[in-house]
Amino acid sequence: MVRKNSNATKTSRKETAAAPPVVLITGICGRLGQRLTRLLHRQQHVIGIDRRPFLSFPKDVEHFAVDLRRKKMRDIFRGRDIDAVVHMGIMHNPRTSSAEHHTWNVLGFQRLLENVAQFHVRKLIVLSGAAVYGARPDNPQFLEEDAPLLGGANWSGLRDLIAVDMLAQSFFWKSPSTETVIFRPVHILGSVRNGSSNYLRLPRVPTLLGFDPMMQVIHQDDVVEAIRMALRPGIRGIYNLAGPPPIALSHLIQIAGKPRFAIPHPMAEIAVRKLWKIGMTSFPAPELDHIRYVCMVDDERARSVLGFQHRHDVNAAVRAVFETE
C-alpha cells in the first residue's frame, strides 16, 4: 500500500509562510463537514470531496464531486500540497445496499490511505464513533480507547465502520510519518442527520420498558472543535470524545420535551424489524441495544493530551437538534 518510503523526504516540503495550509475534507457536504468548513476556511485552504451537491459554501472552498474510489482522487492530491486530510465521508445510511455501503466505506478509505501515504500528507483525521465498541450488557460504564470493537457482533451494518477504524489503526505503523488521529465521539447531537438526533426528532419517543441506560451526548460543534484541535502538529492516536457528564435516557428525552412511551423489548424488536422491512423506519433493529445497554466512553485521554473541553452542556446539545439552519 505504501509506495514510497516516507520518512526523510517529508521535511523538504515547501514551508512558504504566505500560503495557508491545505486541508482536504471528505464528506464535506454533510452537516458536520459544513460546520468544520466554516470553522476552518479563514485560516486554511479547504478542499472538499463529496458526491453530494455543493450547497452554500464560502467562496474560497474548492469542491470536487468525486467518488473516493476513482482514479481522479490522485489528480487532486498530485496538484496540491495537502497538509491534512479529514475523513468524514463515511456512509452511515443503513438504507443503501450492504455491498455498496461496504465498498464505499472500506475501499474508498483504502484508496484515500494510499494517496495519503504516497503524497506524504502530514495529518490524517478519521471520524469513527463510540458505537464501534457496541452497547452490551457486560460493558464497563466507561470504555477506554483500547476496549475491543464489538459493535458489529449484533449489528452487521456497523462492520464497515469498524473496518475503517481498524484500517486507520493499522495506518499508525504502516505510515508512521503521517500523524493519524481517530476520533470516537459518543452520540452527536445537532442539525446532523444521524441516528441519535433523528431519534430525538421523533414526535413521540419510544423507549424500552424497564430499560433506562445512562447516555453520553455531545454537541456537534464540540466534535468539530476537537477536529480543529487535532490539526495541531504532534497530536496522534485514538481519542474518545464524550462531552458533558452522562445522563439517563429518560432525562434526555425529558430535556428534549418529547412525550415518551415504553414498549417491551421483544415487541419493540419485532415491530422495528417489520417497520424496517416496509420502509417505515430508518432505525435498524440492532440499534435498539443503544437504548437498552450502556455504551459510554472515558474521554480522559482527549482531555489531557488533546486539551479537549466540551463547551456545550446537554441542554445546548439537545436544543441544537431542533434548531433550523
Partner 1 sequence: MDRSTVLIRPEDARKQPGIWLGAIRERASAVLQHVTGTDFEEKIRRLEAYRGHERMDSFGLDLEWVRVALVAVAVLHRFYFRVDASGLENVPAGRVLLIANHSGQLPIDAALVAASMFFDAEPPRVVRSMVDKWTQTLPGVCTLFARCGQVVGVPENAKKLLDSEEALLVFPEGTTGISKPFSERYRLKDFGLGFMRLALETRTPIVPIAVLGAEEQYINVGNLETLAKALRMPVFPIIPQWLLPGGLLPLPTKYRIRFGQPLMMTGDPDDEDAVIEPKVEIVRSAIQSMLNRGIKERQHVFW
Helix (H, G, I), strand (E, B) or coil at 175: coil
Identify whether the C-beta of residue 22 lies closer than 8 Å to the C-beta of residue 76. no
Does 209 help bind partner 1 (rule: CB under 8 A)?
yes
CB nearer to partner 1: pick between 293 and 322: 293
For residue 99, with 0-12 CB atoms within 10 Å meaning exposed, 13-18 middle and 19 or more buried, which class applies? exposed
Instruction: Please state, in angstroms and rounded to a whole number, the distance separating the CA atoms of residues 31 and 88.
Output: 10
What is the DSSP secondary structure assignment for residue 42, as one 8-state letter? T
Shortest Å, Cβ 209 to partner 1: 6
Instruction: Please state, in angstroms and rounded to a whole number, the distance separating the CA atoms of residues 15 and 197.
Output: 42
Shortest Å, Cβ 259 to partner 1: 12
Count the Cβ atoms, other than its own, within 10 Å of residue 290.
23
Q: Which of 53, 79, 137, 234 binds partner 1 (CB under 8 A)?
A: 137
Does 146 help bind partner 1 (rule: CB under 8 A)?
no
Shortest Å, Cβ 94 to partner 1: 24
Instruction: Please state, in angstroms and rounded to a whole number, the distance separating the CA atoms of residues 154 and 176.
Output: 33
Query: Which 160-199 residues touch partner 1, going by CB under 8 A?
Result: none
Does 279 help bind partner 1 (rule: CB under 8 A)?
no
Q: Which set of grid coordinates corresponds to residue 202?
A: 421523533
Helix (H, G, I), strand (E, B) or coil at 267: helix
Shortest Å, Cβ 246 to partner 1: 5
Amino acid at 196: S
Q: Which of 58, 148, 259, 264 binds partner 1 (CB under 8 A)?
A: 264
CB nearer to partner 1: pick between 121 and 143: 143
Closest by CA to 272, choosing from 258, 290, 260, 288, is 288
Query: Which 105-134 residues touch partner 1, going by CB under 8 A?
Result: none
CB nearer to partner 1: pick between 29 and 242: 242
Shortest Å, Cβ 299 to partner 1: 12
Does 286 help bind partner 1 (rule: CB under 8 A)?
no
Q: Which of 5, 16, 138, 304 binds partner 1 (CB under 8 A)?
A: 138
Shortest Å, Cβ 238 to partner 1: 17
Q: Which of 208, 218, 288, 291 binds partner 1 (CB under 8 A)?
A: 208
CB nearer to partner 1: pick between 172 and 211: 211
- Whose grid coordinates read 440499534? 287
Exposure b/e, 225-247, CB count within 10 A at least 16 = b: bbbbbbbeeebbbbbbbbbbebe
Shortest Å, Cβ 141 to partner 1: 5
Shortest Å, Cβ 66 to partner 1: 43
Closest by CA to 169, choosing from 214, 124, 119, is 124
CB nearer to partner 1: pick between 81 and 313: 313
How would DSSP label each residue in 120-147? T-SEEEEE--GGGG---TT--SSB-TTS
Query: Which 230-249 residues touch partner 1, going by CB under 8 A?
Result: 245-248
Does 211 help bind partner 1 (rule: CB under 8 A)?
yes
Q: Which of 144, 145, 269, 313 binds partner 1 (CB under 8 A)?
A: 144
Residue ranges that bind partner 1, judged by CB under 8 A = 137-142, 144, 208-214, 245-248, 251, 264-265, 293, 296
